[in-house]
């Protein structure tokens, strides 16, 4: 028995197929009208679930496109590369940890979208700063830093695991393993500092206080930024990028994840070739 899965516009989203109806003795029999009634009911439910998933994905992709329009560095190729690098690193890390396959697969999908949204908070930054074709002043950089909690604020009302992951990645992908990153311990609703050091600056997160997805995305983002040409810099030589990543192990990056990065480097290189910049 084969039933099309349709949305309210009668577009076909997929197909549900049920095979081998059996009687109480286990013998294969024909489907009857009651079976058709039940299967149609479940097909309708499946159609709604698929449609909601498609709508959610489409909305997130539009958010990413909006960020791309605001920030010339946030190209579609860049966010796809960062997301793909992050997923490959997570999967290898998770396998080393012995996580079950169903958990790995679920987290892959969540991390991919969360990593694509890592800089979504830049929509709150002025164009005068965001599109400046030169290095930022200290004051400008302080404003740029707010994109972390501004992005997390978008996902403050958590409705799903994706909301939680996107909030964590947006907030923590500039935190450093050695506790020298930003934004530190701030209220994502207001940007107010929650815990200050002696100079009045927010106390950063360090080590495993930084969420795993944030630690992974940090390496993926820096690798892609160093490897890419920007209006204010040329792309780095490949070996220079690798030396820089290794030199930041235990400082900016989780050392265990740096090892994972280099362990899956061949796959990461192939991802970079898959998503080239349209203009280099």
How far is CA 188 from its chain centroid?
19
Binned at pLDDT 50, 70 and 90, residue 114 comes out as very high
List of domains in the chain: 1-70 (3.30.450.40), 72-274 (1.10.3210.10)
User: What would the pLDDT profile of 177-223 be if each residue is shown by its tens digit?
Assistant: 999 999 999 999 999 999 999 888 899 999 999 999 999 999 999 99
- pLDDT higher for 66 or 153? 153
Give the rounded percent of residues in the chain with a pLDDT score beyond 90: 65
In angstroms, the CA 213 to CA 86 distance is 8
Averaged pLDDT for residues 77-88 = 93
251 is catalytic: no
Q: What does the DSSP assignment read for 75-107?
A: -HHHHHHHHHHHHHHHHHHHHHHT--HHHHHHH
Binned at pLDDT 50, 70 and 90, residue 52 comes out as confident
Beta carbons of 244 and 236 less than 8 angstroms apart:
yes
Task: Give the per-residue pLDDT at 75.
Answer: 65
Q: Which of 6, 52, 97, 122 is catalytic?
A: 122
Task: Give the per-residue pLDDT at 280.
Answer: 42
Averaged pLDDT for residues 101-122 = 93
């Amino acid at each position: 028995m084969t039933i099309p899965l349709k949305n309210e516009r009668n577009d076909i989203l997929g197909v549900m197929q049920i095979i081998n109806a059996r009687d109480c003795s286990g013998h294969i029999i024909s489907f009857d009208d009651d079976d058709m009634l039940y299967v149609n009911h479940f097909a309708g439910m499946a159609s709604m679930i698929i449609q909601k998933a498609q709508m959610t994905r489409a909305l997130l992709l539009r958010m990413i496109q909006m960020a791309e329009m605001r920030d010339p560095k946030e190209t579609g190729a860049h966010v796809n590369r960062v997301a793909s690098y992050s997923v490959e690193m997570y999967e290898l890390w998770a396998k080393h940890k012995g996580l079950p396959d169903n958990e790995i697969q679920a987290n892959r999908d969540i991390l991919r979208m969360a990593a694509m949204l890592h800089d979504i908070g830049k929509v709150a930054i002025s164009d005068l700063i965001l599109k400046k074709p030169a290095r930022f002043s200290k004051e400008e950089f302080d404003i740029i830093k707010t994109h972390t909690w501004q992005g997390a604020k978008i996902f403050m009302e958590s409705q799903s695991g994706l909301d939680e992951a996107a909030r964590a990645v947006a907030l923590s992908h500039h935190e450093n393993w050695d506790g020298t990153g930003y934004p530190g311990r701030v209220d994502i609703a207001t940007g107010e500092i929650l815990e200050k050091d002696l100079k009045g600056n927010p106390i950063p997160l360090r080590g495993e206080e930084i969420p795993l997805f944030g630690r992974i995305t940090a390496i993926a983002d820096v690798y892609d930024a160093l490897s890419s040409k920007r209006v204010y810099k040329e792309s780095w030589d490949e070996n220079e990028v690798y030396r820089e990543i290794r030199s930041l192990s235990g400082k900016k990056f989780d050392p265990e994840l740096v090892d994972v990065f280099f362990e899956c480097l061949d796959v990461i290189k192939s991802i970079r070739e898959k998503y080239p910049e349209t203009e280099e």
